[in-house]
A and B are shown apart, each in its own frame.
Chain A
Amino acid sequence: MSANPDIPATAIAEAVRAGSTSARSMVQASLDRIAATEPRINAFTEVLSERALRRADFVDAHPRRARMKLAGVPFAVKNLYDVAGLTTLAGSKIERTRPPAARDAALIRRLEAEGAVLVGALNMDEYAYGFTTENTHYGATHNPHDLARVSGGSSGGSAAAVAAGQVPLTLGSDTNGSIRVPASLCGIFGLKPTFGRLPRTGSYPFVASLDHLGPFARCAADLALTYDAMQGADRDDPACAQRGVEPVSPLLARGSGGLRIGVLGGWFRDMALTDATAAVDAVAQALGTTRLVELPEVERARAAAFVVTCGEGAALHLDDLRVRAMDFDPMTRDRFLANALIPHAWVMQAQRVRHWFARRVARVFETVDVLLAPATPCVAPAIGTDWIDIAGQRLPARASMGLLTQPISCIGLPVATVPLWGLSASAPHMPIGVQLIAAPWREDLCLRVAAALEAQGICSAPVARGL
C-alpha cells in the first residue's frame, strides 16, 4: 500500500491485518506527512516519533494483529488527554510545570488495544475555552483548506491534523461545540457521542457536567470504527454510563431509509448565515425531508450552557487565578476571572433550565429520529477576526462559532457533523458542517445518516491540497 494521506483508517487496518503493509510503514508515512506540513498547519504540540515507531513494531509482531480492528492506524489526541511521560498541557502555559502523566488516558488505551498507534498531541484553545484555537502560548492552528483562516476550536489541532492528511483519526473534546465547530470549519467528520457514553478518565476537564470526548475522521465508517473501539463503562469517570458496547459499524449499511428526519427551525436558522442554511437545505433535500421542527426555548438553553460553563470552568482554576493570573492566555484570562465571581444561584438555575429543556426535547424525539442543524453560523473566518454580523446583530466572532452547538451539547444529545462544500458565495473553497442530532444513546442513527449522505456524494472530507 502506498503512503497516500487520503487512505482511510478502515483501509489501513485491513491492509495491516492482511499483512500487505506494515504498521511501521503506515506510521512512518504519517510522521513524514506531519514533518512536511506541520510548519504551515501548527496542529501538533508534540510528535511522538520514537514511541509511535516502537508501538508500530509491537503491532506488527503481535500474535493478534490479524484481528485488531485498528491495526497500524496512526492517530493523535488533543493535548488535554493524558499521554504517559508527557505533561498534560490542556493548551496552557500553567500546566507545563506539572509532572508528566503516569499512564495514557482511557480512550488512548482502548484504541491502542485494537492496534492503533498514537503519534502525537494536538493544539487547542487554553483549557478548551474557545472556538478558534488562536492559542497565544502555542500559536494559532491554521485551517488546512485556507491557511489564513481559523481551524475552529477548541479541538482545532484535532480537526486540522485530519484535514491536512497528517493522520486519519484524532480525538478531541466537546463541551459546547469543540468537536462540531472545528469539524465544520475544517471540512471533516466528527462525532460527539451522548453525554456519559465514553469515559473521560485521564483527560483534563473543562466543565465536568458538560464535557464529552469523541473522534474526528474523514469518513463515517472510520468514525464508527473508532467510536466502537472506545465504547464501554469505566468506573473511574462517575459520569460514564454503565452501558455495554453497542457497536454501530455493522449498522451503517442500513442507510437513512425509514428514519423520520426534521430540520430545526427558529434559532437554528435565525442565527446562521446563508452558507450554513444552504448546507442544511442540501442535506434535507438529499434525505427527502421538508419537515420543520421547532425546539422550545433554545436561546435559554444556550444561555444555560453558557452560565454552567462560566461557573464550573472558572472554579476549577481558582487557585491559579489567585496566584498566577498573568500566566493564563490573554484570550481566556479576563473571562476566567469574571466567571469565578458569578453567584452560585445563577449556575444552579442554569442546571435547572437545562433539565427542563432536556425533558421538552425528549418529547420532540417521540415523533422524529434525526434533526438537522448547521454546525456553525458560517464558514471559517480569518485568523484574528473579532466580530461577525448575524441576524442583524454585531456579535463576538469567537464565541458565536458555538451558537448552534451549545443548545445541543447542553442536554448531551449525540451528534455527527458532516462536511459540505461550495456553499459559500464569498469562500466557495471552504467547507461547512451540518449537525445530525439524535435522541440520547442513538449514535447509530446519526452515523447511519452520515454514511448515507456520504454514499450519495452530498458530504465528503478530502485531504487539503497544496500544503
Chain B
Amino acid sequence: MLNTILYAFISVSLLGAFFGIGLAIAAKYLYVKKEKKLTDLEEALPGYNCGACGYAGCSAYAEAIFNGIAEDITLCSPGGAETAQKVANIMEVAIDVSHEKKVAFVHCKGGKDTARYAFEYKGITDCNAAYSMYQGNKVCKYGCLGLGSCIRVCPVDAIAYDNQGLVVVDKEKCISCNQCVTVCPSGVMKMIPYTADYVVACNSKDKGAVTRKACTVGCIGCKMCEKKSPDGGFKIENFLAEIDYSANGERKNAADACPVKCIVTN
C-alpha cells in the first residue's frame, strides 16, 4: 500500500522535473526574440482590446504601428492623449495631441413617462431586432429603443439602464471606443466632448408638431436656444437643435429657456 503511493509520488515528481527542464530549455533556445520597441508599444497601449482603432486588439495594433502598416498612431481612443504621446515617444515621431477626449451620450430623454409607444414589443432583447420591426416600438423613430444592445457591447461597463427604461453612459468610465455608436440602430448614441457642459438630449428630426405628439421632451426646433444663447453654438437643422462645441459662449440661458427642457447638463 505504502509502496504504491511512493511509486506514484516518485513517478509524478520525475515527470514534473522532466517537463520542467524541457520547458526551461525550450524557453531559452526556442525563444522568439521580440524587438524592444514592440514590447514597449504593447505595454504602452491600455490592453482593453476594445477594437476602437480598427485592429483586432491592442497587440495587433502595436504590431501594425511597429511594422508601419498603421499610418495613424493616435487611434487609441481609450488611452487618449497620454497613450498617443507614449506611442509617439517610442516611435520617435512628433504628433499633435491637442484633440480632446470624447464620450458617448444617449441623445434621448423620452422614457416610459414621457414618450408615446406605438405597440408592445415582445421579441428578442436586441435593439437591432426591434429596429427592423417598424423602427422600434416608440412613436418617435429617432429615439433610444431601450433594449440595451449598447450595454452588452460596452467593454468597460460604462452604460446602464435608468429608471425610465433608457440607457445612460457614465462619462467617467467611458473609454470612447465607439462600439455603442456602431451598434445603435437609431443613431441616438453619439460622441460629445468630455468637457461639454450642456447637451441637446434629443435626436428627432421630425417637425415640431409631430415630435410633440410623440414625446413631451423632444426638441421641437423652436429656435429659442439660438436666440437666448447666441454665442453657445446652437444651430437648428432638420427641426433639431445641435451644439457646435467649438463655440465657447454660455449655454445656461438656452437650457433654462428651452420649452421642452431637452437641453440638459452633461
A binds B: no
